[in-house]
Amino acid sequence: LVSRKLKPEDTVVSFDNGAKIGDKEKIFVFGPCSVESYDQVDAVAQDLAAKGQKFIRGGAFKPRTSPYDFQGLGEEGLEILKEMNKKYGLNVVSEIVNPAHFEMADLYVDVFQIGARNMQNFELLKEAGRSNKPVLLKRGLSATIEEFIYAAEYIHSNGNSQIILCERGIRTYEKATRNTLDISAVPILKQGTHLPVLVDVTHSTGRKDIMLPVAKAALAVGADGVMAEVHPDPAVALSDAGQQMDLNEFDYFFNEIDKTRQLY
């Protein structure tokens, strides 16, 4: 169902605030790794709104490697994100890790994110397929492109065609970056499927010093947009402290990538 052979024209995911993903215009999804407090998210949301952005990301349910790390604020985190939607008109993108949570999260979230660690959580994929909101599906840590496409197929075959793919880097032997961004996956996914494709430059590189050229490369190879993490004070962030941009770094990154966006 997600194959371009079956449907040659691009799928465009549209939102009430006029935003579109997969249209000609490139889009951005920025925001903190985790929702930590109202003020923390508000600082980022205000900046995004001032930059004319239409989306904000933030995790309320965090799939952490260690059970002793911050697990997210849960529903309270989603409430904070919903406040940002009301205050600034930003579409909320947030990760769901439990199939039983879609109904609750539907009150707060505009895009359900399925994280890399859950790309083959088939019950979660089926439930996302039964929901009627767009799903942002991230590529699994060690998933082949074929497995990634089948995961999208799970969502589509359960009734939801509003799927956005996100390449976020895969595990290789290389240690210079957090993961290895599979840049060639972007044109392969664009050719093989009709779905929009985003590139997450934060979790793929894990390095702020190369995020900008990597984001430019993503747009150049045909990605429909870029995801990156921004935090008002990354040093005290409860997750991914080392790789989130502060608002000054983000200002520079944004201006540069926004110029690049207009080239494609």
Can you give the binding site for Mn ion, defined by CB under 5 A?
Answer: 33, 240
Tokens 């995961």 map to which residue?
151
Decide: is 129 part of the binding site for ligand PEP (CB under 6 A). no
Strand partners for 114: 137
Q: Site for ligand PEP (CB under 6 A): which residue of 26, 101, 168, 231?
A: 168
CB of 200 to ligand PEP, least distance (A): 6
Which entry of Mn ion, ligand PEP, none binds 95, CB below 5 to 8 A by partner kind?
A: ligand PEP
CB of 165 to ligand PEP, least distance (A): 12
Residue nearest to ligand PEP (CB): 115
Closest CB to ligand PEP among residues 9, 214: 214
Closest CB to Mn ion among residues 33, 215: 33
Gap between the Cα atoms of 212 and 214, Å rounded: 5
Window contacting ligand PEP (CB under 6 A); options: 46-54, 109-117, 230-238, 255-263: 109-117
Closest CB to ligand PEP among residues 19, 227: 227
